[in-house]
Amino acid sequence: GAGVSQSPRYKVTKRGQDVALRCDPISGHVSLYWYRQALGQGPEFLTYFNYEAQQDKSGLPNDRFSAERPEGSISTLTIQRTEQRDSAMYRCASSQESPGTASYYEQYFGPGTRLTVT
């Protein structure tokens, strides 16, 4: 079946512009995570959703970053007034089980959106 998809795959934007990154999880997956990954580093947690509810946003760097998942499926990560330091690979992952209840947390990652702020 289809895996996790993300769009756009590449985004170049000018400093100060807003960007919206989209994640389409595997159908039926309850949990959705957003990560940021710098070159040569592991994924860095940003936020996650259980269905449409944002459960933890402690990893969002500042209030320019926000995320939503209004219908419990597709999610959007929005960065307002982008800065050069926001340049990175942004990845999302989805998981079938609901956190806190199941014992199996396999996450399926999308291909990522490479964001470049000039």
Q: Which residues bind other proteins (CB under 8 A)?
A: 4, 31, 33, 35, 40-45, 48, 50, 55-56, 58-59, 91, 93, 99-100, 103-112
Q: How far is the CB of 72 from other proteins (least distance, A)?
A: 16
Q: How far is the CB of 64 from other proteins (least distance, A)?
A: 21
Q: How far is the CB of 80 from other proteins (least distance, A)?
A: 24
Q: CA neighbours within 13 Å on the CB side: how many for 71?
A: 7
Angle at 45 between CA 42 and CA 50, to 5 degrees: 135
